[in-house]
Amino acid sequence: MDIKNKSLEELEVVSQDIRDRIIDVVSRKGGHFSSTLGAVELTVGMHYVFNPFQDPIIFDVSHQCYPHKLLTGRWDEFETIRQFGGLSGFTKPNESDADYFVAGHSSTSISLAVGAAKSIKLKGEDRIPVVMIGDGSMTAGMVYEALNELGDLKLPVVIILNDNEMSIAKPIGAISKHLSKLLAGKTYQGFKGRVDSFIKKNMPEGTTYIAKRMEEAMKLITPGILFEEMGIDYIGPIDGHNIEEVIDTLQIAKEMNKPVIVHARTVKGKGYKIAEGQHEHWHGVGPFNVEDGAFVKKAAPKAATAVFADALTQLACKHENVVGVTAAMPSGTGINKLMDKFPDRFWDVAIAEQHAVTSMAAMAKEGFKPFITIYSTFLQRGFDQIIHDVCLMDLPVVFAIDRAGIVGNDGETHQGTFDISYLRFIPNMVLFAPRDNRTLELGLDFAYSLVKPCAIRYPRGAYTPVSYESTPFELGKSELLKEGSTNKLFIGYGASVGRACETEKLHDEDIAVLDLRFVKPLDTQTLTALASKYDDWYVFSDSQKQGGVGSAILEFLNDSKICVSLTTFEYEDDFIDHGDTKVVEESLGLLPEQLVKRVK
């Protein structure tokens, strides 16, 4: 959509059309909602001032990119947002040349902009990287690593700070408000540039010092001191819903030809009154009724996350040394219940997985029992800390890995497929997985008693029910659920035990089923015994094949010189696309009725 020649009044209409389209589609299909509604005018302003097919436009996390998609030729296709085979809910370069980078995790945007700015300079091109980053993403350390270099290099980069929840620094009174308006104006920016130039050329050393001190005093009563001290100019705060103000400010920032942060205040859910403001449950939504905001509820069994939260609450009530942390996902991981009940023992450290892991390592050393509750995909961000600060010290930290396996509509950046592979090779780490709600409860009891680092994984949504009695966990011990009369053995791990059981029931042969329970350490004694009875093994696990459960078993078989046939139904060497979980599993040939045919 070409908006370069539209009037302000026409741009207001475009913004309203975009909002209406987002509300209509997301209310029927689900998706990210409040953040993307709050970024409409900012996105329209970005597209008016910059060229999305030339200037690198980089969205942090990119869950707020829906207006950008609608402005770049995907209006009709937007109907397929987050559906299998349709548009991604995040930026994705193979969808459009206007999408600069794949994004789904937080706080990477400014680093990307620095790299783009270096490249543009080396190639001698006339382009400017533009970033839109939310205030929540500013809680991660990677942002400040990037700002630190950018402030030193002084390369042209425009960073739009979309402040929809909290101020980076609270303005002080009427003077601050007045100065902030001045900072956003052409008069002040021009004056500041002329003063800087005049000081450098004409003023003696003593008066230069006085002038600089006056400028620093002005910064102290504005919210931009943090950025100014890092060598990055600051403009704002501005009204992020005033298109004229947005366009004027971005034009100024573009002409400054150096790094600048534009601080824009916005309201989450803007334009849909029910969702406006700081309501976490409107961040990402399922289908809902536009008239009253009522969500379309589907009857569903209790989710594994809810089972985990209740079990950990009981554990915390019983043991005062149980503490916990999450990284900006309190309700998503269920730890919000514990933060309310035990505010001195459970914390949300914001988007800081590295800090979460290392801080809990110290608490473990001090005699506490930390539970680190982080999604599988986000735990990747704390990988070095798991090795260096937890496992190297052999500290009894529990990693509660939520969203393990396929998570559905968020797609490639969020699928929880790699945790087994990247944790299994770390010395001192114990890896185990419950098969259902009851074994998840038993698993937390076991994790509490274990004096070693361990990771317990569980899926998004509910477990497939397994009709076998649960027994307590023992370190490195599997559980044979069913003997078989054929030479076949189904080995299930975690939530995939349910898939193994369903596949066995659909098969016309009597097949043995083993709940592996531990992938590290393996129950080598039981596996050796089973190899003498069953020589055709099939592995069921919601994990990557490389370095996964099948790989662990093959390593054991090779070392023990045991000869059996092993087939693993883990994920192939590829990133898994977005879409409804069952549809995605069907595309991978992993539904029980498909697996029966593969076994036969």
Let me know if 3 is exposed, middle or buried by CB neighbors in 10 A (0-12, 13-18, 19+): middle
Choose the catalytic residue: 29, 74, 92, 268.
Answer: 268
Give the strand pairing for 31-32 and 284-285: antiparallel
Which residues, in sequence order, are CB contacts of 450 under 8 Å at separation 6+?
A: 396, 398, 430, 475
Q: Name the residue among 376, 357, 409 with its Cα closest to residue 494.
A: 376
3-state secondary structure of 305: helix
Catalytic residue among 74, 381, 520, 545: 381
Catalytic residue list contains 19 = no
Residues 355 and 144: their CA atoms lie apart, in Å, by 14
> Of 228, 353, 441, 504, which residue is the catalytic one?
353
Nearest to 109 by CA among 90, 83, 95: 90
Strands 488-492 and 536-540: parallel
How far, in Å, CA of 75 to CA of 21, rounded?
A: 8
Map tokens 């543009």 to a residue: 120
Calpha distance 209→81 (Å, rounded) = 56
Of 254, 403, 271, give the one whose Cα is nearest residue 326.
403
CB 450 within 8 A of CB 480: no
- C-alpha dihedral, 401 to 403 to 405 to 408, nearest 10°: -170
Q: Spell out the SS3 assignment of 487-551.
A: CEEEEECCCHHHHHHHHHHHCCCCCEEEECCEEECCCHHHHHHHHCCCCEEEEECCCECCCCHHH
Query: Catalytic residue at 353?
Result: yes
Cα–Cα distance, 167 to 223 (Å, whole number): 8
Sign of the torsion angle spanned by Cα atoms 417, 421, 426, 428 = positive
Burial degree of 181 (CB within 10 A; 0-12, 13-18, 19+): middle
Q: Annotated catalytic, 74?
A: no
* Separation between Cα atoms, residue 504 and residue 467, nearest integer Å: 13
Q: What letter would DSSP give residue 389?
A: I
Pairwise CA distance, residues 281 & 31, whole Å: 12
Distances (CA, A) of 582 to 109, 365, 507, 579: 32, 42, 20, 8
Catalytic positions, please? 268, 353, 381
